Structure 1
């Protein structure tokens, strides 16, 4: 598909996406709408399981299911042996974090202000048990994590730098590559939560310089819920021992000893949904065929238009920090609880999201926000849907 998207391109993609026919979906940051082909890839395999038996069907579809790993590697500019297929961002990120082993009193973890609450929960538990400190990297004037401030914080006690690339509560895009240069220069492990980034932005793990990157596939990639990708840099893998293994991730050898896999498969399990992996393979193939740079351009165009129109509603306040921004448009409407607003829009066939303090507690507390409404766009959205959302908000706020 050539860039930019033509009207015919968008209409064709929408025709292949059942969800666009019955709802105006602005909740892609939570979960996007799968294509008919992705749905068929899942249901076709479930039919094979029902008619031939799950194990037999799984063996027959093994090559197709494993295509997800190869396609994900192409998407991230990684090698297939650096990719683990997981159940989602938190599972991948948390398992890799736990695999770092025991922490020692006095060690430090540095995080951006926008870190995902689930990641913070895992870090806080480790810190509480072991006397580890978690320090927040200052943000620059735009609200983004400041690489220079990070460099000034470093000492020999820092064992991990963690960054949520695109926060869940706003359109900010953090400078992942600049943070990576600092981490590599000082040889400090660098974890990225890319839940909102993969499928929306071009991602090159070699340029970013991360050791671990985790994402969910239900968002911009439009994959099935319950699927995720975990990238682990090949040279970093030997430093990670997963806390939970099985016959797939650490098979027993002839001497009765468990042998950890020498690839990212050490973070996978023998028990998995082949049907979901077949669906994921299709979703990844579609993203690569369309082209992520084109997807990024389309989303940026739509999100910019939505921000411009929302800014013209006097009772609406935009809440997006940063200079470079994503397709997640955060706002609040004066005098309206965000959950109530979400419900009111839902009764009119429009879906948006809501982000509360537990999603990004450090940033929400720093900005004195209790909740934000989120209208997140996809390349599937069109200008008429933006107009409909804005007009409906105007009517509700009268």
Structure 2
């Protein structure tokens, strides 16, 4: 990768040191132009007419995302965000009383709350699998829980929103297949910074967002559902796109993943998300992963070497997310002080990680991407309050 060229294609790099990519990355010119171009077309000829003219680009989205994660195009749905993509799949699973859902201690609130809702409605049990010594989901404990039976679903995050680790998704997939349990992977923090291949991982369902490491438009996301599973899942709501009204008293649901879509959507966003997926593949997913991992490791080392800073990250394998605290300073205050110096970071909150007793709250979260530089990491460290 030519980092200078990539930064030149990212207008925000000239204005800010952006280390909040786990929140929303800076979009590249290819995505900006794709979205802006379609919005301008809508303004000139009308929204419906523009969508008809953009049909090839809309269809390209399915090929682009399928190529990004090693899927087939009929296994991909365009959804307005990762949360809604995840919800559409989760609430389609036909739970029955006595079923168990297994998850990890680092699960995020937007997923944990639906577990609890379904548990209360349908007499389903939610069990949190303990961590291993690295802080990620324990494969030994997961295997033991699966052996107890009644597990309908194993649902975990690939990368938590905090603490830096990468969960061993492929190993989880192997255990799920052996136990005939469904595997739902929340990949909103991994797609775009790691090579994510659904065949290698063995997940049945995967949800992801556009705005984070994929560098797509905000308000976009996608859902992958393994082809043999699609027809067994009835979405929680339907419209004239996801189903056909075949008679006054009958309808027929689509037989591909687009049964999880709705007709009305952010058309320019879908085109932009396809452009973002194409860019990631063109740059090379392995190369992206190597650079992100290397930058994050350097930042952890630099932070750990400074007095008064505690790096909180765990995991045998670590991601581009770096979390830390600064002695004597609230995380929110650190975030604001850095922003005044032109450095963007975020804050993590323990209320979003109720399953994890080891979660430190609040904490500063810096998240690197391939367009960041060593000089920007130095700028962050130098700008931290003493």
> Is 2:104 the partner of 1:107?
no
Is it true that 1:156 corresponds to 2:149 in the alignment?
yes
CA–CA distance in structure 1, aligned partners of residues 200 and 296 of structure 2? 26
Q: Which residue of 2 aligns with 1:375?
A: 366
Distance 1:172 1:165 in 2: 9
Q: What are the ranges of 5 or more consecutive residues in structure 2 without an aligned counterpart?
A: none
Question: 2:16 maps to what in 1?
Answer: 23
Matched with 1:202 is: 195
Q: Which runs of 5+ in 1 are unaligned?
A: none
Deviation at 1:168, TM superposition (A): 0.2
Q: In structure 1, what is the Cα distance between the partners aligned to 2:352 and 2:192?
A: 21
Q: Could you list the per-position Cα deviations for residues 31-76 of structure 1 after superposition, in whole angstroms to 9, with x for gaps in the alignment?
A: 0000122111111111111110110001000110221111100011
Q: In structure 2, what is the Cα distance between the partners aligned to 1:247 and 1:210? A: 29
Moved over 2 A (4+): 103-106, 358-361
The correspondence of residues 63-142 of structure 1 with structure 2, limited to 5 A, is: 63-101=56-94, 103-142=95-134
Contact conserved, 2:350 with 2:360, CA < 8 A, in 1? yes
Distance in 2 of aligned mates of 1:214 and 1:248: 20
Contact 1:82 1:232 in 2 (8 A): yes
Output aligned runs, 1:141-290, within 5 Å. Answer: 141-154=133-146, 155-254=148-247, 256-290=249-283
Q: Equivalent residue of 1:105, what SS?
A: coil
1:338 maps to 331
Rate the CA distance shift 1:300–1:353 in 2: closer, same or farther, 3 A: same
Per the TM alignment, residue 156 of structure 1 is displaced from its structure 2 partner at its CA by 2.8
Match of residue 52 from structure 1: 45
Q: Contact conserved, 2:154 with 2:182, CA < 8 A, in 1? A: yes
Deviation at 1:281, TM superposition (A): 1.5
- Distance (Å, rounded) in 2 between the aligned partners of 1:239 and 1:332: 46
Which of the residues 363, 383, 386 maps onto 1:392? 383
Residue 368 (structure 1) shift: 5.0
